[in-house]
Amino acid sequence: MAKRIEASNVSSYYGSFKAIDSISMTVEPKTITALIGPSGCGKSTFLRSINRMHEVLPNARIEGRLTIDEQNIYDPDVDVTAVRRLIGMVFQRPNPFPTMSIYENVVAGLKLNGVKKKSALDDAAEQSLKSANLWNEVKDRLNRPGAGLSGGQQQRLCIARTIAVEPQVVLMDEPCSALDPISTLAIEDLMFKLKDRFTIIIVTHNMQQAARVSDKTGFFSIDKTGDPGRLIEYDDTQKIFSNPTQKKTEDYITGRFG
Amino acid sequence: MGDYPSSSTNATAGGSGVTGRHARSAGTGVSPSSYEPPIGGGDGLPKKARFSMESGFRGLSTAAGAMVLVIIVAIAIFLISKAVPALRADTVNFLSYKQWFPNDADPKFGIAALAFGTVLSSVIALIVAVPIALGIALFLSHYAPKRLANPLGFVIDLLAAVPSVVFGLWGRDVFLEPVRDFSVWLNHYFSWLPIFGGDGPFGRSILLGSLVLAIMVLPIVTSLSREVFQQTPGMNEEAALALGATKWEMIRTAVLPYGKPGVIAAVMLGLGRALGETIALALTLGTVFSISFNVIENGGNSIAANIANTFGEANATGRGALIASGLVLFAITLVVNMAARAIIYRRREFRDSAA
């Protein structure tokens, strides 16, 4: 199921503005990798470059090489929608489709990919909601609007929607920043569970969260506003938080900077 | 006051529990060195004003709101009082009779053919205009580069500003020829369909009127739909794209469902314009009082066009009859609008929770 992501010298641009500068990192299958760093350092830009959501914005482009199990994600012959099916994404703010019910939200991705059989959709919806630890809360009201759930439930609904299409990699862009601590904990538990099946990369501002959930941590930083973000240090989470090699990393995780 | 110990020497309004309401300005006027209380109010609590802009404006807006009701009731009373005597004088069934002879000594008039022509021409106009309008709206909101979309949107809005009499004259003098040729072609190949049957003459038909109407409702539906499509939350569009949707699939998943209530409202506004359109149809339709689904033969008529065409030579009963037909048009519009609201209301749960 899960696949390896390799980035080598990836730089992303918005028009002429360089947002990140030659990022290289390897993310192993079935691990959780946390990306931390101050605001504006390019963590999210890098994350969005991985599933080619970066290029949705006008004039956005990347340089360098990104591969998933040796296949070039940015190969001109590659179908971009296939990349995004392979590498799912959960966004910062819960974004269920407002016009759809809980059920319709979960199966939206499957319907987009041509699954029509009712029984297959029903099974997938139940499985995904169970995987997202949401089934027990919503099984009696699957036809109610998805946007009527609480923030934490909406975010788990979005995770269910993402994993329903069975991607290889799940990207999470600050998935808990709009949630209360209890919902955050629910999502962190969920991430441990999903780690058995997916490669997970999460951007977070919450260093305790990075320390709790991730196997590896990458620290991004910028020298000053307007400069591109760089990957300062990338190592085992334990090492980053106990014995970082870079002074900048240490300053950041001890709260003396950023 | 405890915060401003120096104020005790020259404070004029401070000290008392409740001060006059202009305590602040009174303080400023005394002398350059005088103490000025902070905006938040450092002194006592000012009294509530008895008369102010607040109550004055409330009264004005209430009066404006009430006036709408008064005007509507007055218009309704006027129309009904004029229509009822004419309807009493009618010697045939007003709802089912097709001809219109209200000025005779023995008045015979009915709304059937007119109402039918009104609804038929408007429905055909919408069938033609709405898909094109939605296509243009989507192109402007999601496909066209900004540099092209803005001027193009402006041109579309400009189309809405063309007076309907211009459309009518253009339809009668210019557009008639191509429509006649097209009608002959349709009749030649598709005469086995009743709507394209008949032996002619063709041209000044429901088809011509409907196409002119379609051009007239196009800009309304386009610019409102475009507005709605542009308001689709970006995060929903991104959610669809991140699931592996192509651009068109993204539009189908996120944009169209989100915009549906707005599009329905836009279509209803367009339908309202089409149903009430007068002079363009008076100039393009063949003015025949009959109920026929044949859309290419000379013929067709509508309530509003009939009012414009016959008002000049109408006597008292004739005018009453025309006013009665206007009431029927109003009733049709009302039913259509209520139906549209019902459609929007049915999904309110989804719309409200989206906010």
pLDDT digits (tens, 9 = 90+) for B302-342: 999 999 999 888 888 899 999 999 999 999 988 988 888 88
Domain of residue B36: give its range: 7-46
CATH code at A91? Answer: 3.40.50.300
DSSP letters along A181-209, please?
Answer: HHHHHHHHHHHHHHTTT-EEEEE-S-HHH
pLDDT at B269: 87
pLDDT band at residue A58 under the 50/70/90 scheme: confident
Q: Check which CATH number belongs to the domain holding B255 and give it.
A: 1.10.3720.10
Q: Which residues of A touch B (CB under 8 A)?
A: 51, 53, 56, 81-82, 84-85, 88-89, 91, 93, 95-101, 108-109, 112-113, 144-145, 147-148, 158, 161-162, 165
Residues B37 and B60 in one domain: no
* Token representation of residue A177: 């920043």
**DSSP codes joined into one string, A5-43:** EEEEEEEEEETTEEEEEEEEEEE-TT-EEEEE-STTSSH
Is the predicted pLDDT of residue B13 greater than 50, yes or no?
A: no
Contacts of A95 in chain B (CB under 8 A): 233, 235-236, 238-239
Q: How confident is the model at residue B5 (pLDDT cuts 50, 70, 90)?
A: very low
Instruction: Give the minimum alpha-carbon distance from B345 to chain A in angstroms, rounded to a whole number.
Output: 13
Q: List the single best residue of A57, A87, A93, A112 to mutate versus B (max B Cβ within 10 A).
A: A112
pLDDT at B25: 46
**Which residues of chain A make contact with B233, given a CB cutoff of 8 A?**
95, 98
**Which of A56, A84, A147 minimises the CB distance to B244?**
A84
- Which domain does A220 fall in, by range? 5-96+169-244
The verdict on B174 and B312 lying in the same domain is: yes
pLDDT at residue B191, rounded to an integer: 84
Taking CA atoms, what residue in B is nearest to A85? B244
What's the average model confidence in pLDDT over A181-190? 87
Q: Omega into B201 within 30° of 0, i.e. cis?
A: yes
In-domain check, residue B291: yes
* Inter-chain touch A145–B353, beta carbons under 8 Å: yes
User: Is pLDDT of B23 > 80?
Assistant: no
- pLDDT tens column, B118-131: 999 999 999 999 99
Interface test with A, best of B346, B348, B350 (most A CBs within 10 A): B350
Task: Please check whether residue B179 lies inside any domain of the structure.
Answer: yes
In total, how many domains does chain B have? 3
**Is the CB of residue B114 less than 8 Å from the CB of residue B331?**
no
Rounded-to-integer distance, Cα A40 and Cα B355, Å: 28
CA distance A140 to A127: 15
| Residue B19 confidence (pLDDT) above 80 | no
How many Cα atoms within 13 Å fall on the side-chain side of residue A115?
18
Q: Where are the beta strands (DSSP E) in B105-198?
A: 108-109
Contact A95 B239 (CB under 8 A): yes
Q: How is residue A144 written in tokens?
A: 């109610």
Whether residue A98 and residue B233 make contact (CB cut-off 8 A), yes or no, is: yes
Tell me the pLDDT band of B2, cut-offs 50, 70 and 90: very low
pLDDT digits (tens, 9 = 90+) for A229-257: 899 999 999 999 998 898 888 888 888 76
Question: Closest-CA residue in chain A for B349?
Answer: A145
* pLDDT in the model for residue A237: 92
Q: Are residues B341 and B229 in the same domain?
A: yes
Say if residues A61 and A143 touch (Cβ distance below 8 Å): no
**B95-104, B241-250, B344-353, range with the lowest pLDDT:** B344-353
Using a CB-CB distance cutoff of 8 angstroms, which residues of chain A are in contact with residue B249? 112
Query: Mean pLDDT of all residues in chain B?
Result: 84
At residue B293, the pLDDT reads 85
Residues B150 and B57 in one domain: no
DSSP strands (E only) in chain B? 18-19, 45-46, 100-101, 108-109
Residues B222, B323, single domain; the answer is yes
Is residue B70 predicted with pLDDT exceeding 90? yes
Please identify which residue in the block is written with the tokens 């929903």: B236
Residue B9 confidence (pLDDT) above 60: no
In a domain, A140, yes or no: no
Stretch B213-239: mean pLDDT, rounded?
92
pLDDT interval class at B252 (50, 70, 90): very high
Q: Would you state the pLDDT for residue A258?
A: 47
Are B282 and B240 contained in the same domain? yes
Partners of residue A44 in chain B, C-beta under 8 Å: none
Provide the pLDDT for residue B347. 65
Is A141 inside a domain boundary? no
Check residue B219 and give its pLDDT: 92
Q: What pLDDT sits at residue B11? A: 42
Residue A106 lies in a domain: no
Do B85 and B108 lie in a common domain? no
Mean pLDDT of A23-39: 91
- Structure confidence at residue B10 as a pLDDT band (50, 70, 90): very low
Provide the domain count of chain A.
1
On whether residue A221 sits in a domain, the answer given is: yes
| Dihedral sign computed on CA atoms, order A84, A88, A92, A96 | positive
Q: Is residue A197 part of a domain?
A: yes
Q: Chain B: nearest CA to A211, how far in angstroms?
A: 27
Q: How far is CA B6 from CA B10, B36, B135, B157, in A?
A: 8, 11, 71, 64
Q: Is residue B280 part of a domain?
A: yes
Model confidence, pTM? 0.80
Residue B230 domain flag: yes
Examine the domain organization and report whether B14 and B122 are in the same domain: no
> Is the pLDDT confidence value at B8 over 80?
no
Please check whether residue B95 lies inside any domain of the structure. Answer: no
Q: Is a pLDDT exceeding 70 seen at residue B15?
A: no
Instruction: Identify whether residues B35 and B180 lie together within a single domain.
Output: no
Q: What chain A residue is nearest to B235 in terms of C-alpha separation?
A: A95
The angle formed by the CA atoms of residues A170, A175 and A177, to the nearest 5 degrees, is 160
Q: Helices B316-346 & B303-310, crossing angle to 10 degrees?
A: 160
Average model confidence (pLDDT) across chain A = 89
ipTM: 0.89
Q: Which residues of B touch A53 (CB under 8 A)?
A: 238, 241-242
Are A84 and B246 inside 8 Å of each other by CB? no
Residues in A touching B245 (Cβ below 8 Å): 81, 112
pLDDT at site B288: 84
Q: Using pLDDT thresholds of 50, 70 and 90, give the confidence band for residue A131.
A: confident
d(CA B255, CA B176): 38
pLDDT at B29: 46
Are B258 and A109 within 8 A, CB to CB?
no
Whether B175 and B321 map to the same domain: the answer is yes
Strongest mean pLDDT among A139-143, A185-189, A225-229, B61-65: B61-65
Query: Which of B89, B109, B144 is at the close of a domain?
Result: B89
What pLDDT is recorded for position A204? 92
pLDDT of residue B297 exceeding 90: no
Residue B12: what pLDDT? 45
Query: By CB neighbour count within 10 A (0-12 exposed, 13-18 middle, 19+ buried), where does B61 fall?
Result: exposed
Interface test with A, best of B235, B243, B249 (most A CBs within 10 A): B243
Question: Is residue B194 pLDDT above 90, yes or no?
Answer: no
- The predicted pLDDT at position B35 comes to 65
Q: Are residues B187 and B278 in the same domain?
A: yes
* Domain co-membership, B153 together with B258: yes
